[in-house]
Amino acid sequence: MCGRFVSASPPDEIAAYFDAAAPEKLLPANYNVAPTTDVYAVLVDGGVRKLVPLHWGLIPPWAKERKIASRMINARSETIMEKPSFKNPFKKRRCIIPVDGFYEWQAIPGQKKKQPMFIQRPDGEPFAFGGLWEVWKSKDDPDEIVRSCTIITGPANEKMAEIHDRMPLILPPDRWSDWLDPELQDLDTLGKFLVPAPPQLITFYPVSTDVNLVRNKSPHLIDRVDPEQETATQASHHDSDTEPPPAV
């Protein structure tokens, strides 16, 4: 799954990195991006590659209410060509979700508590998550139009498997143009994109359980911590951890 990530790079730098037009609406730097918030996405609209804010949580055009978005933050690569919510945007409306890094929670043997880990590229460059986007129009309010997105996930590579059995789809630069091309609609060709990234593309380390709380969004969340030392400190202050986000 992918349930939390970091988007803190300046939008003009993100746009330049992906050779896209800069966004008109700016989003604040966020070290704990959670589902159902607005996130940056790279997509082709009107023949132009743009960086735009989208609501994270796909809302299919046929949905009666936008609240369905909370259940559509991820699209499984194994069923993406079969699910009615995802098949059409997979053919016609693919996007890239740029992220500086993301979080996953590692199970600790013999304990109920899980250890949050921060995953990033060793070179510090952004990840290019494969995503889908849609346009939803409210039947009750003609002025309510929402552009939304979902992040594609698939089986973990060997490195990621040390933490979790799934990971986001990460696209290499030589596939960005084809992925974003709305004219490319051949499912056999597109299916070849749905493979785990090379294990050398990711590295990770433990971070504070402060990330468990969505309201925490500051840069300290990606600081490396000693889990045992943090646990001892929390115990001395009688703090309690919240549960990590549910698996999707």
What are the pLDDT digits (tens) for 36-76? 999 999 999 999 999 999 999 999 999 998 899 999 999 99
Q: Is pLDDT above 50 for 181?
A: yes
Whether 2 is catalytic is yes
Q: Which two tokens stand for residue 124?
A: 């510090």
Q: Name 219's Cβ contacts closer than 8 Å, sequence gap at least 6.
A: 8, 31
Residue 238 phi, psi (nearest 5) = 60, 35
Closest C-alpha to 102, from 190, 178, 39 = 39
User: For 209-239, what is each residue's pLDDT tens digit?
Assistant: 999 999 999 999 999 999 877 766 665 554 5
Round to whole Å and give the CA distance between 152 and 171.
11
Q: Which two tokens stand for residue 208?
A: 């504070």
Q: Is pLDDT above 50 for 248?
A: no
Round to whole Å and give the CA distance between 234 and 247.
25
Whether 65 is catalytic is no
Q: Is pLDDT above 80 for 185?
A: yes
Q: What is the pTM of this model?
A: 0.92
Round to whole Å and give the CA distance between 223 and 235.
20
CB 14 within 8 A of CB 98: yes
Q: Kindly report the three-state secondary structure assignment for every residue of the chain.
A: CCCCEEECCCHHHHHHHCCCECCCCCCCCEEEECCCCEEEEEEEECCEEEEEEEEECCCCCCCCCHHHHHHCCEEECCCCCCCHHHHHHHHHCEEEEEECEEEEEEECCCCCCEEEEEEECCCCCCEEEEEEEEEEECCCCCCCEEEEEEEEEEECCCCHHHCCCEEECECCHHHHHHHHCCCCCCHHHHHCCCCCCCHHHCEEEEECHHHHCCCCCCHHHHCECCHHHHHHHHHHCCCCCCCCCCCC
Q: Is pLDDT above 60 for 179?
A: yes
How open is the CA angle 23-75-95, to the nearest 5 degrees?
A: 25
Average pLDDT, the chain: 92
Please report the pLDDT score of residue 247 as a whole number: 46
Q: Which fold has domain 5-236?
A: hypothetical protein yedk fold (3.90.1680)
**Looking at residues 90-102, what average pLDDT do you find?**
98
CB 6 within 8 A of CB 101: yes
Round to whole Å and give the CA distance between 194 and 189.
10
Name residue 98's beta-bridge partners.
Answer: 128
Q: How confident is the model at residue 108 (pLDDT cuts 50, 70, 90)?
A: confident
- Provide the edge-to-edge strand list for the sheet that holds 5-7: 30-33, 5-7, 101-107, 114-120, 203-206
Please report the pLDDT score of residue 23 as a whole number: 96
Catalytically annotated residue among 95, 104, 149, 230: 104
Catalytically annotated residue among 2, 95, 149, 230: 2
Please report the pLDDT score of residue 140 as a whole number: 85
Q: How confident is the model at residue 183 (pLDDT cuts 50, 70, 90)?
A: very high
Round to whole Å and give the CA distance between 83 and 79.
6
Please report the pLDDT score of residue 244 as a whole number: 57
User: For 125-142, what is each residue's pLDDT tens digit?
Assistant: 999 999 999 999 988 888
